[in-house]
Amino acid sequence: MIAYLVTIAILVSIAALVGLALNLQWGQAGLVNFGVVGFVAIGAYATALLAPQIGWFPAMLVAGALSAILSAGLALLSIRLEENYLAIVTIGFGEVVRLVILNEGWLTRGALGIADIPRPFASLGQAIGGDTVFIVFALALVAVVFALLECMARSPFGRVLRAIRDDATVTAALGKNVFALRVRAFAVGGAVMGIAGALHAFYLTYIDPSQFTPIVTAYAFMAVIAGGRGSNFGLLIGACSIMALLEGTRFLKDFVTVIDGVQLSALRLGLIGAGIVLLLILRPQGLAPEPKRRAADLLSNDERAA
């Protein structure tokens, strides 16, 4: 039971990293990204290919940097498009990545996947036993990324991103470079997705194309919606809630014995979808919505007194 809970905690950590990245891009900057799974896959494969050669930490940094560069490149090409067309471009990007990792066997080993990916602090983990070291590493990584993104959200950069999300025309009229800010936000989000892919590869120590399907993107959007769009703290709650639904519904087979495994899988997804719809009806702002900041909150105590 403890091992199962540890596994759930690690999966929640990976989902939280993906969700935090999407929350920056879509929740705070208003940029729709339906190609989340593509950036996660890039991070995972970069890590799998490089970690045995240069070590896990440099490989993770390269994974984040590569995802950031590709995110920035995609943004430069498509960020000026309307929201609907940007969504289509990101869907296409995710599909291109899937086809590349499936068919370019000389690089990714195709459907066979890549095995024997080294874990961080592997020797220490073997000495202690179990996944104790890895779960501490995963939770620490989530905490660091959360702290950095929360500081970014509270900084002038984060405030401008929310202004762009609410009204890009007014923000541009105030002298802000909307295009450059959007590209930067998309790149930072892509970097975090790459790091999430690296954590995914480290945990499983084996990756193949079947692990990177559009459902990864769907779960990320579910977590952001459930937690509250624009709220990093809400995202953590949303990721935990979605993962609890996903894993909790696995035990339906112990209570519903009249349907087979395929039907049970469909029922699980249906229940999760119904839960999201119910949440949107009862609490459309999410479980922990983005705090509404007033102009007075940005002033010092002396400025307020004046």
Residue 297, pLDDT > 70, answer no
Residue 17, pLDDT > 90, answer yes
The two tokens of residue 48 are 């799998």
Residue 249, pLDDT > 70, answer yes
Q: How far apart are CA 235 and CA 102, in angstroms?
A: 31
Residues 6 or more apart whose CB falls under 8 angstroms from that of 104 comprise 110
Taking residue 287's Cβ as centre, other Cβ atoms within 10 Å add up to 18
Q: How far apart are CA 287 and CA 306, in angstroms?
A: 37
Dump pLDDT digits (tens) for 206-222: 999 999 999 899 999 99
* Residue (of 135, 146, 247, 111) closest to 199 by Cα position: 135
Least confident stretch, 90-94, 98-102, 153-157, 284-288 = 284-288
Q: Residue range 248-271: average pLDDT?
A: 74
Residue 305, pLDDT > 90, answer no
Q: List helix spans (H) across 33-131.
A: 36-54, 56-78, 83-103, 105-108, 122-128
Q: How far apart are CA 127 and CA 305, in angstroms?
A: 59
The two tokens of residue 180 are 């450059």
Q: What pLDDT shows up at residue 295?
A: 52
* Residue (of 196, 208, 56, 42) closest to 125 by Cα position: 56
Dump pLDDT digits (tens) for 26-63: 999 999 999 999 999 999 999 999 999 999 999 999 99
Asked whether 176 and 160 are in contact (CB, 8 A), the reply is: yes
Residue 115's beta-bridge partner residues? 206
Q: What pLDDT shows up at residue 290?
A: 80
> Where residue 288 falls among pLDDT bands split at 50, 70, 90?
confident
Q: What pLDDT shows up at residue 298?
A: 52
Residue with tokens 């995802």: 67
